Amino acid sequence: MGAGLRRKLIVGNWKMNGSRQTVRELLGVIGARSKALGCEVAICPPFVYLDLCDVVLSATGIKLGAQDLSEHANGARTGDVSAAMLTDFRCRYVLLGHSERRASHGECDEAVARKALQAITAGLSPIVCVGETWEERQSDSTHDVLSRQIRVVADVLARSGQLMALTVAYEPVWAIGSGVTATADVAQDAHAFIRRCLAGYSASIAQSVRILYGGSMKPENAAALLAMPDIDGGLIGGASLNAQQFLSIADVATALEAVQ
Ligand code: 13P
């Protein structure tokens, strides 16, 4: 399977932004254009807006995702949200191991792996975020960091025969929210390396797993990034809060789908 058989996926990560009013406004514009999009599109709002998003998006082809889940199934876990609760709101995707959660909630690779298994068991597709800090890149340890982050999750999923359910997001920490994007060549190198790590488990699964790029992706740089052979979509932060910018990126992915 080549890049042409991995359908491009554009995901909006709203992080901790929005209100009921802005959710309605944003999704009103995005939803109205959804039928014209030839790529797959998903939105990951804060938990509290999942219900509203589910209602507004139900008549569109846009999918719903969450930004995290509990590694536990249920019980006395104040503040946590389970995988089953997310499927109850028709979530299809869940972001896991975002660098903001790794940094501010102490999420380790092992916890991310346990969450990925919880997600898959409930029928959700986990989008596992990996990426190096600027210091790690400067000290030439990008590949070491990526291979460790991928290995811990892939070991667990491969043991359960679930590796094919994985989506990866390569998000260099230094490019997130900074306005500094990895060049298309730098991102492609990391994506190809991640795919080689996955090929150590299964060559055919490595070819089918989608690897998204995240980190200051904007309409201006999306074409160069999304045209790379191992970049199968985008995980968009800031630009996903602007309907026109988000749709422009989805239009770029749609155009690339048409030529592949
Ligand atoms: P920005 O697009 O704002 O850099 O955020 C990227 C990100 O963290 C998506 O998960």
pTM here is 0.97
DSSP structural state of residue 212: E
CATH superfamily of 3-128+143-193+201-238: Aldolase class I (3.20.20.70)
Cα dihedral 155/194/92/53 (nearest 10): 130
Distance, in Å, from the CA atom of 158 to the CA atom of 182, rounded to the nearest integer, reads 30
Give, for all 260 residues of the chain, the pLDDT tens digit.
456 689 999 999 999 999 999 999 999 999 999 989 999 999 999 999 999 999 999 889 999 999 999 999 999 999 999 999 999 999 999 999 999 999 999 999 999 999 999 999 999 999 999 999 999 999 999 999 999 999 999 999 999 999 999 999 999 999 998 888 889 999 999 999 999 999 999 999 999 999 999 999 999 999 999 999 999 999 999 999 999 999 999 999 999 998 86
- 121-152: b (≥16 Cβ within 10 Å) or e: ebebbbbbbbbbbeebbeeeebbebbbebbbb
CA 179 to ligand 1: nearest atom: 4
pLDDT given for residue 144 in this prediction: 98
- The residue ranges of every structural domain in the chain are 3-128+143-193+201-238
pLDDT given for residue 2 in this prediction: 59
Whole-number Å distance, alpha carbon 111 to ligand 1 midpoint, is 22
pLDDT given for residue 227 in this prediction: 97
Whole-number Å distance, alpha carbon 13 to ligand 1 midpoint, is 7
pLDDT given for residue 4 in this prediction: 63
Whole-number Å distance, alpha carbon 249 to ligand 1 midpoint, is 13
For the chain, the distance separating the N- and C-terminal CA atoms, rounded to the nearest angstrom, is 13
Pairing mode of beta strands 40-44, 9-13: parallel
Q: What is the chain's alpha carbon radius of gyration, rounded to the nearest angstrom?
A: 17
Residue that the structure tokens 């191992």 belong to: 230
Structure tokens at 180: 């500094």
CA 236 to ligand 1: nearest atom: 2
Catalytic residue among 40, 100, 107, 171: 171
Structure tokens at 81: 């949200």
Nearest Cα residue to atom 5 of ligand 1: 237
Catalytic residue among 40, 71, 98, 100: 98
Please confirm, yes or no, whether 171 is among the known catalytic residues.
yes
Please confirm, yes or no, whether 40 is among the known catalytic residues.
no
Ligand 1 pocket: which of 236, 245, 249 to mutate (most atoms <8 Å of CB)?
236
Nearest Cα residue to atom 7 of ligand 1: 237
Give residues with Cβ within 8 angstroms of 147, minimum separation 6.
193, 197
CA 235 to ligand 1: nearest atom: 9
pLDDT given for residue 181 in this prediction: 87
- Nearest Cα residue to 259 out of 39, 10, 41: 39
Pocket around ligand 1: residues whose beta carbon is below 6 Å from it? 13, 98, 171, 176-177, 214-217, 235-239
